[in-house]
Copies of this chain bind each other. A is one copy, B any other.
Amino acid sequence: MPKQYVEDLVPNTQVNSSFVVRSRSFASFRNKPGQYLNLSLADRTGEIVGRVWDNAEALGEVLTPGAIVRVVGRVEEYQGKPQLIVVQAEACRAAEVDPSDYLAASQRDPMEMLDELDAVMAEVENPCLSALLHAFFDDSDFRTRFTRSAGAKTLHHSFVSGLLEHTLSVVRILKVVNESHPQLNRDLLITGALLHDVGKVEELATETTIEYTDTGRLLGHTVLTDRMVRERLQQVPDFPPPLADLLMHMLLSHHGQKEYGAPIVPMTAEACALHYADNLDAHVQYFSQVVAAGAKSGNRWSDYQRLFDRYIYLGDAGEQGEGPTGQE
C-alpha cells in the first residue's frame, strides 16, 4: 500500500497510512466521563491535527511521541482545515518504513551539497587547516551524521540536512565578504564556517523528530564543538598552537555576545565576520520560513513571533484573515 502524504489529505477520505507522532496529549470530555487524544501527526510534507475519540487510552500506548505508526481513520474538516479522526493504530516495524519519509528535509539535494562542501574544502590552502577539515569530512561516520543533522530544533533550518545547507550558506557569504575585505584570512574564514556548528551533531538527535540530547542541554553545542575539534586537531601533526587558538576563538565566539551563550566575544575580524554571517543566514531563513508557512493562512500578517517580538508581514497572500492584535 503506497504512503499517503499529509499534503494530499483532503476531507472526506479514508486513510490507511503511516505517520510520525510529533506530540500527544490527553484531554477530557467536558460533559461525559472519559477522555480523548489530541495528536500531531506528521511526515516530510507537513503536519496534521489528529483526534482519537474512542478507545483513547489503548491507542495512546501506541501513539507515543517519536514513533512511526500506521493509522486507520478518516479525514474531516474542522474550522476550514483537515483533521484526521483515528480509529486504529499500530506501531510500524523499522524494516517497513523509510525514515526520510517522516521528517522534512532540505530542498537542496544532499549529494549536491556535499559536492559543494568538498569543493570548498579543496579551496583551503593551509595544509594544517585542510588536514583538519579532511579529518572531519572524510570520516564517513561523521559525514553521515553531519549530512543528516538539522540546523536547530525549531528556530531555523529545522529539517534534515538543515545544518549542511546552513553551513554552505555561511561559507558563501564569507567568501563574498572576503572579496570586499581581502585582508581577512580566507582559509580561516572557510574553515571556521565549515566547523562552526559541528557540535550540533551531538547536541541534537535528528531521528524521526528533532530533539535535544541530555548532553546537548547540559553542555551546549559550543562546548561540544570545542571538544570535537580539539580531538581531531590532535590527529593533525604539527598543528601550530597559535593557529589553533585563532580557529577555536572563531568557533567559541560565533554567537557574538555573551548574552547569546558565547563564552568569549569575537576579537578578530574573522570571528566578527563568522558571527554576523551566521546570524544573517539563520534569521533570513527563519523569516522566509514564517512567510512560507503564512502564505497558506489567508492573513496579511503572521502570528506573533515571540522570539523576535514582532509580527512578520505576509502581504497579499490573503485578504480574508484576521490581523494580529497589535502593540503600541
Contacts and interface: CB of A to CB of B under 8 A. Distances in A.
Contacts of A30: 27, 29-31, 36
Interface stretch (A7-15, A117-125, A261-269): A261-269
A248 interface: yes
Interface residues of A, number: 95
A142 interface: no
- Residue from A183, A276, A283, A315 with most neighbouring chain B CB atoms (10 Å): A276
Interface in A254-283: 258-269, 272-273, 276-277, 279-281, 283
Contacts of A93: none
A24 B242 CA distance: 28
Contacts of A264: 218-220, 223, 261
**Counting chain B CB atoms within 10 Å of each CB, which of A32, A268, A312, A313 scores highest?**
A313
A316 to B, nearest CB: 8
Contacts of A155: 328
B79 A218 contact: no
Contact of A65 (B65, B169, B212, B322): B322
Interface in A210-261: 211-212, 214-215, 217-220, 222-223, 226-227, 230, 241-242, 245-246, 248-249, 252, 258-261
Nearest to A172: B176
Given A280-B277, A281-B180, A288-B184, A300 B219 contact: no
